[in-house]
Amino acid sequence: MQKTNVDVEQELVRIQEEYKQRATYQPFAERYSLFNEAALLQTHGLERNTLALLKKHRFTHLTDKKILDIGCGGGMQLQRFLAYGAKPANLSGIDLIPARIEQARSLNPSIDWQVGSAHQLPYPDRSFDLVTLSVVFSSILNKSLRQSIADEVWRVRKAGGLILCYDFAYSNPRNPAVQGIPTDNFGPSDCTLTSAPHALASRRP
């Protein structure tokens, strides 16, 4: 158990260092800028799949829904949920990187932003109707940490709530800092795949 805890802490440090390097690497920022047509196309594709999954699972009336975005970054995903009809007071975002939360908070201080690791979520059991994660699991190389986060996601989700997970199904041989998450890791009875093989929705009673 002690070794597992040490491994998890080392993995958290590795992730923080990885994103610190990305933040100072200009070509990386340009690659994911919305002024880059490829990045814009990807963002539009993610939004289209998100809306399709919400509609499929009858989550189109978001006014009273409590929503958590794990690995929220600068808050762009939750900002989009405001456009879908959600209320700022019902939105929460958590990220490991303090600078990202500062950015998110500056954009909309009405949303609950938290700095922390998703393997120890600071929320009570069954708090959220909807939990979203975007390229979170593929950024984690430690299986114990990945499993702990998955357990926490299920813990804070309300009974009958929805989990939206967007991630890479395959590893990138040019990027050892990420690891693909095969779709068979998700039970077929619990998940719905959209036309994109890495956009999933999971819902249980």
Q: What is the CATH architecture assignment of 2-203? A: 3-Layer(aba) Sandwich (3.40)
Contact 94, 68 (CB under 8 A): yes
- pLDDT at residue 199, as a whole number: 45
The token pair at 79 is 């900002």
Q: Which helix (H) or strand (E) holds 27?
A: helix 26-31
Tell me whether strands 157-166 and 67-70 are parallel, antiparallel or unpaired: unpaired
Model pLDDT, residue 201:
53
Tell me, what's the pLDDT at 26?
A: 78
Question: Per-10-residue mean pLDDT for the chain, 205 residues long?
Answer: 77 90 76 86 89 92 97 95 97 96 96 97 97 92 92 94 86 80 56 43 55
pLDDT digits (tens, 9 = 90+) for 164-175: 988 877 787 788
Helix (H, G, I), strand (E, B), or coil: what is residue 115?
Answer: strand
Chain centroid, CA 122 distance in Å: 16
Residue 61, SS3 per DSSP: coil
Report pLDDT for 181: 78
Q: Quote the pLDDT of residue 192.
A: 45
C-alpha 92/C-alpha 201 separation (Å) is 19
Interatomic CA distance for residues 42 and 65, integer angstroms: 26
Angle at 66 between CA 62 and CA 68, to 5 degrees: 110
Q: How far apart are CA 5 and CA 143, in angstroms?
A: 12
Distances (CA, A) of 119 to 55, 131, 197, 200: 29, 14, 25, 20
pLDDT digits (tens, 9 = 90+) for 91-116: 999 999 999 999 999 999 999 999 99
pLDDT, residue 189, reads 40
The per-residue pLDDT for 205 is 54
Six token digits for residue 177? 């800092």
Closest CA to 190 of 157, 162, 168: 162
Each as own residue / partner, the long-range contacts of residues 21-28 (CB below 8 Å, 24 or more positions apart, any chain) are: 23/99
- Record the pTM: 0.86
